[in-house]
Amino acid sequence: MDSLVSIAIFVGFGMGFVLLNLLVGKLVRPSIPNSEKSAIYECGEPTIGSSWVQFDLRFYIVALFYLVFDVEVALIYPWAVVFRDFPLPAVVLGAPFIGILVIGYAYEWYTGSLDWVRSSINTSVKGTAGIDMASLARRDPGALEEEASIVRAGH
Amino acid sequence: MPEIWLVLGMCAVILVPFLKRTSVALPTGAALAALFFALAATTYTLVGDSGGTAVLGTLTIDPFSQFVKLIVILFAILVIAQWIITTRGQTAAGDTPDFLCLLLGAALGMSLMSSASNLLMIFVAMESASYPSYALAGFRKRHRIGTEGSLKYVVFGSAASAIMVYGMSLVYGMTGTLNLSDIASQIAGLSHTSSAVTGTTPALAAIGLLLIFAGVAFKLSAVPMHFWCPDVFQGAPFEVTTFLSVASKGAAVALLVRLLFTLGAASPVNSGLFTGVGVGVAILGAATATWGNLVALHQTNIKRLLAYSSISHAGYMIMACSLIALAPNTATAHTAITAVLFYLVVYMFMNLGAFTVGAAIAAQQNTEDIREYAGMSKRSPILAALMTVFLLSLFGMPGLGGFMGKVFLMQAMSDAGPAGFVLIAVLLINTLLSLAYYVKPAYYMYFTADKESRPTIFPSPAALLMLFVCAAALFWTGLLANKANSFAGAHAVLMQPANAAAAAPTLINGLPTVAVPIVDRHD
């Protein structure tokens, strides 16, 4: 309990110190804004455009795949250390785990989710991927036009 | 182990497109086959009622867990049937494997939730039930409400998981074990050990438990954690809403029952902490039921109306769960668990029926607004009659399953002394409140003339068959309830934790002994 109290005092003091200094700075400093000062800081370089840009969703897929396989490595490492002689139980325990990941990976690859240029035209020709253009057109003809305009803007 | 079949089914469903690209029948068949194998495996273990553990003691296999798994898997089959019958046309052929894989994954997580008896397994099971649910909730692409609901679900769910993991870390830090029954016996020992010796206080245990229960409350959509429920239900496709409303909540109720039962098995009689937990859960249930019913009064969207209705039904079940902690003896606890299981079965058929009618109407009239149901008794008399049956059963009309469900809940409550009578009063008032909104769709269907010549709705024969089966199940459980109730009673048996007797705390100077695996280095 004593250690908790000292930690609480430490945390409280740390937070109070920061807030107090910010407050002092706010009270003391002069406020003369100009366009140069309020510009976005980009390592000293002149900024190009706004920072409110749309981020390409495809980077998330890459990041997600990195995460999945990074976690796989993290889990396989202790597995390899525990079963260093590679006995049969190691295969029995490890194979389903890796197998399931491989199945998911193959499915993503096969359905075209990993194609960098994943346009509607591309996917509808293949007839495999996420957006089924025929049924989309049946339900919502406007969406089809929207999809096409996205593709045009992309190229 | 039905879970293995579900995993195999998930693999099979996403391997099918390699054989035939845009087939719908093949993945559906694979998913149904896996579910039927899982159902058979569950039914097989249902017969032999010896409790046991699996996966290093993290899963408890007992009649209770198998019964809940039976409900979850059976319901997954029914939901796939509902999807085929009503809304499959809205799912793109290329998305079918994704949809089925996610559904099976959610069913897997819910099955695990019903037997998890280890903090780690509880967390893993809840996450593997949640993640597919998040994706399923936003399954309709280019559907703004669906995406919004899905995002709310993810954000809320992540926060709830974080809270729960924090609670688990507190409990683990205090007891040094992840096993639920060991934790229960240590916490029970805590209440009559001087806190100066152990360095931990019951207050810390209470906070840890509270945070764990908060995570469960999210899955139950209990009141302070219910905000995701209506938005997700409205945005998700009908079959997903149906699945989440029953299977997700059923699994969460099962988890709540197991937590309370395991805590109760170790706690001494009149333990202050455990009674406090019971009172807390009872208040949670009462608040959930009342709030759900009050907000449902204003709803005009059938999905939102049924979402709030499902919140209030979860509240009734939570109130019954609290009896495990409040009950003076194990017989009452058994009655309460039986009532909850019976209620779950009835609730499954009521909700499936009501949502299927809603889906059939939405598919042909393209509306989810109950005011658009005007003149349904003329346009589609069979659908109107069936919907009325399901709504009246949800309300608790005598003769239907919902009534007997509430009767059994009240019977269990009446055994629990004064606190039970308070709960009965809450339940009765809520039942009256709920009548006001359950008759609203029926009012529009029967007593409002159709002035805009809305289309006549012809449900498909398969949909009608499904609805008649649901209605028959409600009449059967309503009129001949004893048989179903004794079946539920036979399965309301949880495995007694083996080491409940050894309730001696093993804490030394407040520091738990943690077993660190030491890797033997030969080099």
Query: Can you spell out the DSSP letters for B196-221?
Result: HHHS--HHHHHHHHHHHHHHHHHHHT
Task: Determine, yes or no, domain membership for A51.
Answer: no
**B216 and B176 Cβ atoms separated by less than 8 Å:** no
CB pair distance less than 8 Å for B22 and A103: no
Q: Is the ipTM of this complex over 0.85?
A: no
Q: Give the chain B residue nearest A105 (alpha carbons).
A: B14
* Residue A127 forms contact with B (CB below 8 Å): yes
HEC sequence for B325-340: HHCCCHHHHHHHHHHH
Q: What is the pLDDT along chain B (523 residues), one digit of tens a residue?
A: 789 999 999 999 989 888 877 788 888 999 999 999 999 988 877 655 556 777 778 888 888 999 999 999 999 999 999 999 887 777 777 788 899 999 999 999 999 999 999 999 999 999 999 999 999 998 887 788 999 999 999 999 999 999 999 999 999 988 888 988 888 888 877 655 544 445 556 778 888 999 999 999 999 999 888 999 999 999 999 999 999 999 999 999 999 999 999 888 777 666 677 888 889 999 999 999 999 999 999 899 999 999 999 999 999 999 999 998 887 678 888 899 999 999 999 999 999 999 999 999 988 888 889 998 888 888 889 999 999 999 999 999 998 999 999 999 999 999 888 888 999 999 999 999 999 999 999 999 999 888 888 888 888 899 999 999 999 999 999 888 888 888 888 888 887 765 433 433 333 333 344 444 444 444 4
Q: Which candidate, B236, B221, B18, B8, places its Cα nearest to that of B101?
A: B8
In a domain, A39, yes or no: no
Give the number of domains in chain A.
1
Burial of B133 from C-beta contacts in 10 A (0-12 / 13-18 / 19+):
buried
> Which residue range is the domain that position A86 belongs to?
58-154
* Residue B114 domain-assigned (yes or no): no
Assess if residue B501 is contained within a domain. Answer: no
> Which of B7, B94, B519 faces A130 most closely, judged by CB atoms?
B94
Helices assigned H by DSSP within B371-452: 376-379, 381-395, 401-414, 417-447
Put simply, whether A139 touches B (Cβ < 8 Å) is yes
Q: Is residue B74 part of a domain?
A: no
Give domain status of residue B508, yes or no.
no
DSSP state of B88: G
Is the residue at A110 inside a domain? Answer: yes
Residue B484 placed within a domain? yes
Whether residue B21 lies within 8 A of chain A, CB to CB, comes out as yes
| Contacting residues of A for B90, CB less than 8 Å apart | 139
The beta-carbon neighbor of B14 closest among A107, A127, A130 is: A107
Q: Could you give the number of structural domains in chain B?
A: 1
DSSP strand pairing (B59-61 vs B52-54): antiparallel
Q: How far is CA B378 from the centre of its chain?
A: 36
φ and ψ of B21, to 5 deg: -70, -65
- Interface check for B511 against chain A (CB to CB < 8 A): the answer is no
Q: Chains A and B: how many Cβ contacts under 8 Å?
A: 46
Please judge whether A135 and B93 are an interchain contact, meaning their C-beta atoms are less than 8 angstroms apart.
yes
Residue pLDDT, tens place only, A53-112: 777 777 888 888 888 889 889 988 888 888 888 788 888 888 888 898 899 888 888 877
Residues of chain A contacting B22 with CB distance shorter than 8 Å: 127-128, 132
Which one of A135, A144, A145 would you mutate to disrupt binding with B, by most B Cβ within 10 Å of its Cβ?
A135
Contact assignment for B199 to A1 by CB distance below 8 Å: yes
Establish if B306 belongs to a structural domain: yes
Residue B385 belongs to some domain of the structure: yes
Q: Which residues of A touch B7 (CB under 8 A)?
A: 100
Give A 82-111 residues with CB within 8 A of chain B.
82, 99-100, 103-104, 106-107, 110-111
B4 contacts chain A (CB < 8 A)? no
In a domain, B424, yes or no: yes
Domain of residue B350 covers: 269-496
Contacts (Cβ under 8 Å, ≥6 apart) of B156: B218, B225, B227, B228
